[in-house]
A and B are shown apart, each in its own frame.
Chain A
Amino acid sequence: GQQLNQSPQSMFIQEGEDVSMNCTSSSIFNTWLWYKQEPGEGPVLLIALYKAGELTSNGRLTAQFGITRKDSFLNISASIPSDVGIYFCAGQLLGAQKLVFGQGTRLTINP
């Protein structure tokens, strides 16, 4: 099946630092989504991207839909303790309804 390669797998940063993570695939995706999951909970949508080249922000979060439609990145600026969690990219192939998920990036913040 389609694979999304998400990196890095984990990040250990200091509070206040910026964070960057990305997802790549050999397949072309119609939609890219970024979710955050906290312990014991389900994924919560952060940002949805619908067009190649699209750059969208949600507060301190910024995500981009790659021009080739095979990648996406998520940036978090000025990290704070509540940013801790696992971040997942997810992609939707053209004509498909289901989402394919990356392996996740686990973010840990040292105060």
Chain B
Amino acid sequence: NAGVMQNPRHLVRRRGQEARLRCSPMKGHSHVYWYRQLPEEGLKFMVYLQKENIIDESGMPKERFSAEFPKEGPSILRIQQVVRGDSAAYFCASSPVPSGSSGANVLTFGAGSRLTVL
């Protein structure tokens, strides 16, 4: 009965290095979302993916950030050349195909990956 699995739970990187965060959605879920949470703040949407497709990346920074959800394997959020401002908790959520004509959607979240940039 695995939920949304994220790893690593904690990641420390020096400025200029790359960070890769992985997310395996719940069984049967085909939609993945990435959110970022800064300390003492709410969750900010970054990107929404289905298998092999980026559906909405309106919340992704224009540079250094990328996301993928390949046909096989977990979704990856990649941050290149990290800076101190990238330090945050990154949450992945998944959902099944939205139900009904209203498209109502319930997201299940993972425990998050906490990135610290030194």
Contacts and interface: CB of A to CB of B under 8 A. Distances in A.
Contact of B105 (A40, A41, A92, A100): A92
B48 A43 contact: no
Interface stretch (B13-21, B65-73, B77-85, B109-117): B109-117
A41 B31 contact: no
A97 B103 contact: yes
Contacts of B98: 97
Contact of A45 (B41, B45, B102, B106): B106
A94 B106 CA distance: 14
Given A97-B98, A98-B48, A42 B105 contact: no
B95 A97 contact: yes
B26 to A, nearest CB: 12
B: contact size bracket: 20 to 34
A: contact size bracket: 20 to 34
A93 to B, nearest CB: 10
Interface in A4-60: 6, 30-31, 33, 35, 40-45, 48, 50
Contact of A42 (B59, B91, B104): B91
Interface string B47-74: 0100000011011000000000000000
Interface of B: 4, 31, 33, 35, 41-45, 48, 55-56, 58-59, 91, 93, 95, 98, 102-112
Interface of A: 1, 6, 30-31, 33, 35, 40-45, 48, 50, 88, 90, 92, 94-104
9 contacts: A35-B109, A42-B111, A48-B104, A95-B103, A97-B95, A97-B103, A98-B33, A99-B33, A101-B43
